[in-house]
Chain A
Amino acid sequence: RKEVEQDPGPFNVPEGATVAFNCTYSNSASQSFFWYRQDCRKEPKLLMSVYSSGNEDGRFTAQLNRASQYISLLIRDSKLSDSATYLCVVSHTGRRALTFGSGTRLQVQP
């Protein structure tokens, strides 16, 4: 079983739609959580950290459920420019580097 699992998609949504991605992690000792965005043939870039109380950054909302060991990302009012792969990322003190999920691909259509 992968340590971080994501639905690969693609999620095809129209502009203006609301879309949500989930990610599950297997290590209960995981401490920090992030969402990264990766455009086609580009490097991953930090989108947002995920805090226990949930957090929002503009149209993006991240939630953490430690009991069920999953993280979610909600995108409201989708834009064409949101088309990318979204990587769920986890860290824990037992490993001194981040663990990346395989990503969920989003395609926003006009």
Chain B
Amino acid sequence: NAGVTQTPKFQVLKTGQSMTLQCAQDMNHNSMYWYRQDPGMGLRLIYYSASEGTTDKGEVPNGYNVSRLNKREFSLRLESAAPSQTSVYFCASSETTGTNYGYTFGSGTRLTVV
């Protein structure tokens, strides 16, 4: 059972470079999410996709874009990386956005922007 797979696991970028974080789930979940985790801040929602074909902004969307490529895949793009985007990024999925469902997380991407 792969669950939620994120790539890459580690990345170092220079300021101004772009990159795309990939996420795929094999649980037939409808909803997918991108969070970032910074020390002392907890996980903060960047974007989410309630279902295939829809995306919505979360708490901290500035500097990011997303694509829900199909039901399985949800990618996060940094167009012009900034040092403030140094963080650990987690992708997650759930059956729906309904309030009773917990999430399954990927193992994370550790991104450093220098």
Q: When the two chains form their complex, are residues A44 and B42 in contact, meaning their CB atoms are under 8 A apart?
A: no
Number of A-B contacts (CB under 8 A): 52
Contacting A44 at CB < 8 Å: which of B43, B44, B100?
A: B43
Stretch at the interface among B14-22, B62-70, B104-112: B104-112
Q: When the two chains form their complex, are residues B42 and A102 in contact, meaning their CB atoms are under 8 A apart?
A: yes
Stretch at the interface among A58-66, A76-84, A88-96: A88-96
Q: When the two chains form their complex, are residues A100 and B42 in contact, meaning their CB atoms are under 8 A apart?
A: yes
Count of interface residues, chain B, beta-carbon cutoff 8 Å: 23
Q: When the two chains form their complex, are residues A100 and B97 in contact, meaning their CB atoms are under 8 A apart?
A: no
Q: A43-B105, A102-B40 are in contact. Are A97 and B33 (CB under 8 A)?
A: yes
Count of interface residues, chain A, beta-carbon cutoff 8 Å: 26
Q: When the two chains form their complex, are residues B42 and A87 in contact, meaning their CB atoms are under 8 A apart?
A: yes
Q: When the two chains form their complex, are residues B40 and A8 in contact, meaning their CB atoms are under 8 A apart?
A: yes
Q: When the two chains form their complex, are residues A103 and B108 in contact, meaning their CB atoms are under 8 A apart?
A: no
Contacting B99 at CB < 8 Å: which of A2, A31, A101?
A: A31
A45: chain B residues within 8 A (beta carbon)? 105
Interface bits B71-114 vs A (CB < 8 Å: 1, else 0): 00000000000000000001000000101101111111000000
Interfacial residues of chain B within 31-78, with CB under 8 A of chain A in the complex: 33, 35, 40-45, 48, 50, 56, 58
Identify the B interface with A (CB < 8 A).
33, 35, 40-45, 48, 50, 56, 58, 90, 97, 99-100, 102-108
Identify the A interface with B (CB < 8 A).
2, 4, 8, 31-32, 34, 36, 42-46, 49, 87, 89, 91-93, 96-103
